[in-house]
Each structure stands twice: as structure tokens, then as C-alpha cells.
Amino acid sequence: MQVFKYERGKEDTVLNKAWWKEAVVYQIYPRSFMDSNGDGIGDLNGITEKLEYLKELGIDVIWLSPVYQSPNDDNGYDISDYQAIMEEFGTMEDYDRMLARAHELGIKIMMDLVVNHTSDEHAWFVESRKSVDNPYRDFYIWRKGKDGKEPNNWGSCFSGSAWKYDPQTDMYFLHLFSKKQPDLNWDNPKVRDRVFDMMNWWCEKGIDGFRMDVISLISKPEGLPDGVPGENGYADSGCANGPHVHEYLKEMNKKVLSHYNLITVGEASGVTLEEAKKYASADGSELNMVFQFEHVGSGPEGNNRFGKWDSHKMSLPVWKKILSKWQTGLEGKAWNSLFLANHDQPRSVSWFGNDSAEYREISAKMLATCLHMMQGTPYVYQGEELGMCNAYFDKLEDYRDIESLNAYKELTETCGVSHEEMMGYLKRISRDNARTPMQWDDSANAGFTTGTPWIKVNSNYKTVNAKQQTTDPDSVFSYYKELIRLRHENDIIVYGEYELLEPQNEELFIYTRTWNNEQLMVLCNFTDKDVVIPAAVMAQIPADAQILISNHVGNLEAVLRPYEARVYRYNVK
Ligand code: GLC
Ligand code: CA
């Protein structure tokens, strides 16, 4: 790995400069990206076709959501063979062609590594369930029932119990996600070795990194103790940041990661700042960075009865406090990943911005400015660069996501939630909002497929699409392109130190980045009103400051227009 050493401004600390800190990642959800053969399902050849579009955007790395063989209970997050490609997506030859073409264009490929669980159709599990003395039995987590019931009161993230009874051996197996996603037993060294062998196989193929699915859950607490039950009668498993997770990741690092020049990011729901410093320590002993989820939840003000479903957007001061905590907390010690959206979240412009016709574009650009000017590696989720919006499906039949469908059933049948209320939750926060097909142009099905798409296209595709935006210099796409270019050309955006100003301001997000003798002042208006910039902030901006980027054309005054974002650049002593 190419490592540059350099001195940080005024401090003595020496940090590593690394390519993955300077990179911008683009997430592809293959099922919804581009369909090349008219079966309504996105595929690898579709991705290869669109690599030039990504080159034009300027991103460095693609995070590819799972493309492995899978019965698709959870759209590929249930893997039945880690070394084969899902038939619907193509063949290994298609994969190799995509990888080679991406590399030709200077784009790296980060694979999704889903190893907390496999599919129940994986050969290991097929063996494991056969008998208690099968050599694969201990690859999974089997327990006897307790008083004729499940071994403990843990709930699955996809509703109901986290245990499924298997009559074959009269025992239960653990599944923190769907019944078709049995959890692997990471305490078994054979499991770890098989996983590491598989990872090495992909690395030898020439891939460039791993995004590690729910990696914070792999080490289960000793004795699998009951938790405190919630509204649905089930408890959180308490598996997040379990007793041996760092040990296992250090072993993975030693046996796999350290042999290659990779980008690695761990999905770590429930991670604290202190834990993140271990996962993503600057000493390189585990991963490069983690995804933390505090800023996409309801925050400490949240008082949700139904978990994510009745969560709400938090107030701006609380949101700023959370993001700033991560910015300053990891400074010099670990590294942040920056994201507002992914395939599990609602569309960022719909949740954090304003997706009305009037403000969709400007608020999407403002959010992008706010995120991309921070310290960390930014992630763009497919369609976010176009300002794609939530699907707002009116009918339950339009939803496809297992989490949404299971939750509908559980909340309406056992928690007293009405159909109308639940449909409202789904419109705001269902994962399917992020999974509607990529909007390429204004032709039928947004140019995604010539067949019938597996999930409905967002009805706004005639006005929101890539074809229109790639040629429009004022589009959301062009704005993202500029943000990415600026990051590539300015060390201050990558490495500058972050400081939040005006923490209590309820309308503006204002922060600085400082690097050597330079400073950026980032000003973002999160409201649909004109907001006066505080005098103390204006006083900090010298008269000869330049505008690095802005989403607003017109006079630059001490007032920010609705959703205006403005970044000043100037010298400091
Ligand atoms: C992660 C994935 C999500 C998936 C789950 C189970 O949270 O991002 O899509 O359903 O893990 O694999
Ligand atoms: Ca297809």
C-alpha cells in the first residue's frame, strides 16, 4: 500500500495520507441500476454499459451491493454461494468484464461482504441442519428450545422472533434477519477461515475493497441472554459490538486485508464513538472506516414506539451536534464515512431536504454541499446525484421489500397500527423508496428496462432523469460533479480540521474547515425561508474571500436564500 507521511498543520501528530481518504464512493444497487436484457431486473452488463456515466460524474470507487448467487429473500443479502454470480445478474464472465472495464476507466470496485449470515440455501447450512453431528453443525448457532419456546426473547430485525424451529433435529437456529438468513457462528475458527479464504479469492481476482454488511453483529454475547422486550414482545439481541468483534476483525486484517491495497468500510449500526475508534483506528489494524447511523435516526429526542417506522427527522441543532461529534471525535484517530442515503434509507432529498417541485433541486445541492465539505470519505447512493425522490407508493402491492412487508403485517396485526398509518410510515421510510429503478431518461420505464421493471419506476422520471441532467450545467448532477472535482483538487476538503459554528442556530448549518493557512466557511440554509447570516460569522469572512462553490446564482449578501449553500475560501494567519 502506498502510504505518504505528512505533518498536520500546527500539531505534532503524524497522520497517514491514503487514497481511500481522497476517494468518492458511488453505491450501486444492481437490481435497480440498469437492465441490459429486458427481464426487468438490473444486471452486470447494465452496469458495464453505464460505467462511462460514472466516469463523467468523477467518482473513484463503486460499492456494489451483493451480486452473488442468492434466492433473493432479501435482494442478494442472503447469499447461497459467495463465489458465484446471481443468475439474474449475469455470469462470472460478465463480472470479469465489468471489473476490467471499470479498472480501465480508473474506477475501483468494492464488494459487499455479507458474512454475518448466509442464505439457508447455502451448502454450509444445508449440511448444518442435517444432524447435530454434521461437520457443519457448528457453522451456525443452534440451541434447544426453552419451555417449548424459543431459546431467548430476541427479535429479528425483520419482525418476529430471531429463532426458527427446525424439526429435523428438534432445535432452533438464530437469524437476526429473515428466516432465510441464518447467522454464522463466528466463534468457530473454521467459519472464520472459510470466510477469509473466500475473501482472498475475490482479492486475487483484483477487486479493490469490501463494504462489510452488519459487521458489528458478528460476535454474539456470551450465553445469548434475554433482553428487555419492546412493543412487539421481542428484545434487541444486544449483538452490536459483541465481545470478540475486534479480535475477529484483527484476524481478518492479518489474514486478508493487510495483503492488499483495499478500501474497507464496516456497516456498524449501534456503534459508539469509542467503538468506532477501534474499528477504524488510524493504526490500520482493523478497517478503514465504519458507517455509523446516528444521524439517520431520530436522535436522542426520538420517542419511537415502533422502531424505525414512527421515527422522525430530528431538529437541526441535534443533527448538527451528532455529525459534529463524529467529525471532531474521530479527528486524527480514525476516519469517517459520509452518507445521507443508501439502499436501506429513504431518499436523502425527501428526508433531509425538500422534494417539492420548487425546492427539490436546490435542497439536493445544499445537502450535497453540507455533506461533501465534511471530513471523511463521501458515499453517493445511485440517483442521489440526480435528486431522486421517495417513491410514495399508494398501494401495499407496490412494495417489494421483506422488511417493509413483514413490518406491515406485524404492526397492523399485533400492534394496533391502522392500514392508513402504516402506509404513511412506508411512504416516509420504507427501503423501497431507495430501490425504484434508476432514472436514465424520459422514455418508458425511465430507460431502465425495455420489459416490466421488478419494482415500479418513480412517476417523476420525465422531469428527473440523467439524460436531461448530464447536459445541463445547472443540474444536481453537474453540481455533484463539481463537488467531487473540488475534493480531488483540494487537500483542505479531504484533510482540513472541522469546527462547528453557531451550534444552537435552528436554521443554518455553519462550519469551517482549516488546513495550514487556509479556511473554508460552509454555510447551509436548511429552511425554505431567507435567513440572515449571524454577524459574528460574517465578521470572520474577509472581504477578499472567494466563493468555492454555491448553489445559488445572484447577489451574495449576508442573507441565505431558501436552501442556499455557499462555501467561502480564504487565508488565515
Ligand atoms: C444490512 C443491509 C440490508 C440487509 C441487512 C441484512 O443492513 O444493508 O440491506 O437487509 O444488512 O443483510
Ligand atoms: Ca436483466
Determine the pLDDT at residue 5: 36
Mean pLDDT within 277-289: 95
198, 184 in Cβ contact below 8 A? no
Supply φ then ψ for residue 354, to 5 degrees.
Answer: -145, 110
Sign of CA dihedral 462, 466, 471, 476: positive
The pLDDT of residue 15 is 55
Ligand 1 atom showing the smallest separation from residue 74 Cα: 10
Q: Average pLDDT for residues 388-396, to the nearest whole number? A: 98
Q: What's the pLDDT at 10?
A: 30
**270 within 8 A of 240, measured Cβ to Cβ:** yes
| 3-class DSSP assignment, residue 27 | strand
Q: Which residues of 272-294 are buried (b: 16+ CB within 10 A; e: fewer)?
A: eeebbbbbbbbebebbbbbbbbb
Q: Is 77 within 8 Å of 177 (Cβ atoms)? A: yes
d(CA 386, CA 479): 10
Q: Enter the C-alpha cell of residue 349.
A: 432529498
35 in contact with ligand 1, CB cutoff 6 A: no
Residue 158 has which C-alpha cell?
Answer: 425483520
Residues 66-71, mean pLDDT to the nearest whole number: 98
Residue 14 has pLDDT above 60, yes or no: no
Q: Can you give the pLDDT at residue 4?
A: 35
Ligand 1 atom nearest 344 alpha carbon: 9
Q: What is the 3-state secondary structure (H, E, C) of 288-349?
A: CEEECCHHHCCCCCCCCCCCCCCCCCCCHHHHHHHHHHHHHHHCCCCCEEECCCCCCCCCHH
Nearest to 427 by CA among 453, 398, 448, 452: 398
Q: Using CB atoms within 10 A of its CB, is residue 393 exposed (0-12), middle (13-18) or buried (19+)? A: buried
The residue whose CA is least distant from atom 2 of ligand 1 is 213
| Residue 297: predicted pLDDT | 87
Considering every ligand atom, which ligand is closest to the CA of 47? 2
The bound ligand whose nearest atom lies closest to the alpha carbon of 39 is: 2
pLDDT, tens only, 96-133: 999 999 999 999 999 999 999 999 999 999 999 999 99
Of the candidates 237, 239, 133, 244, the residue with the CA atom closest to the CA atom of residue 192: 244
Task: Single out the residue of 413, 395, 519, 364 nearest to residue 459, CA to CA.
Answer: 395
Residue closest to 567 by CA, chosen among 370, 361, 360: 370
Span of 226-240, 293-307, 415-429 with lowest mean pLDDT: 293-307
pLDDT at 1: 33
Indicate if the alpha-carbon torsion angle 268, 207, 496, 531 is positive or negative. Answer: negative
Query: How many residues does this entry show for the chain?
Result: 573
First to last CA, the chain: 35
How many C-beta atoms lie closer than 10 Å to residue 255's C-beta? 16
Question: Quick one: average pLDDT of 368-385?
Answer: 98
pLDDT in tens, 449-502: 999 999 999 999 999 999 999 999 999 999 999 999 999 999 999 999 999 999
Query: With DSSP H G I counted as helix, E B as strand and the rest as coil, what are the percentages for the chain, rounded to 5?
Result: 35, 20, 50
DSSP letters of 488-549?
HH-HHHHHPEEEEE-TT-SSEEEEEEEETTEEEEEEEE-SSS-EEPPHHHHHHS-TTPEEEE
Average pLDDT, the chain: 95
Contact 510, 500 (CB under 8 A): yes
pLDDT higher than threshold 80 for residue 314? yes
The residue contributing the CA closest to ligand 1 atom 7 is: 214
Task: Output the CA 492–ligand 2 centroid distance in Å.
Answer: 42
Site to probe by mutation for ligand 1, drawn from 213, 291, 379 as the one with most ligand atoms within 8 Å of Cβ, is 213
CB-proximal residues (5 Å) to ion ligand 2: 35, 37, 39, 41, 43
Residues annotated as catalytic (active site), given as ranges: 213, 267
Which tens digits make up the pLDDT trace of 148-190?
Answer: 999 999 999 999 999 999 999 999 999 999 999 999 999 999 9
What grid cell was written down for 141? 448457532
Q: CA-to-CA distance for 135 and 126, rounded, in angstroms?
A: 11
3-state secondary structure 127-177: HHCCCCCCCCHHHECEECCECCECCCCEECCCCCECEEEECCCCEEEECCC
Mean pLDDT across the stretch 207-226?
98
C-beta of residue 523 within 8 angstroms of C-beta of residue 560: yes
Residue 177 CA, closest ligand 1 atom number: 6
- Please choose from 217, 344, 406 the residue to mutate so as to test ligand 1's pocket, defined by most ligand atoms within 8 A of CB: 344
- Mean pLDDT of all residues in 215-235: 95
Cα–chain-centroid distance for residue 384?
Answer: 12
Residue nearest to atom 9 of ligand 1 (CA): 344
- Sheet containing strand 163-166, edge to edge, reads 142-143, 171-174, 163-166
Residue 24 has pLDDT above 50, yes or no: yes
Residue 364 contacts residue 404 (beta carbons within 8 Å): no
Rounded to whole angstroms, the Cα distance separating 382 from 386 reads 8
Q: Assess whether the C-beta atom of 344 lies below 6 angstroms from ligand 1.
A: yes
* Torsion over CA: 262, 266, 272, 274 (sign): negative
Q: For residue range 56-67, what is the model confidence (pLDDT) as tens digits?
A: 999 999 999 999
* Rounded distance from Cα 472 to ligand 1 centre (Å): 35
pLDDT reported for residue 304: 85
Structure-derived torsion over alpha carbons of residues 438, 441, 446, 448, reported in degrees to the nearest 10 = -60
Q: Where are the beta strands (DSSP E) in 372-421?
A: 377-381
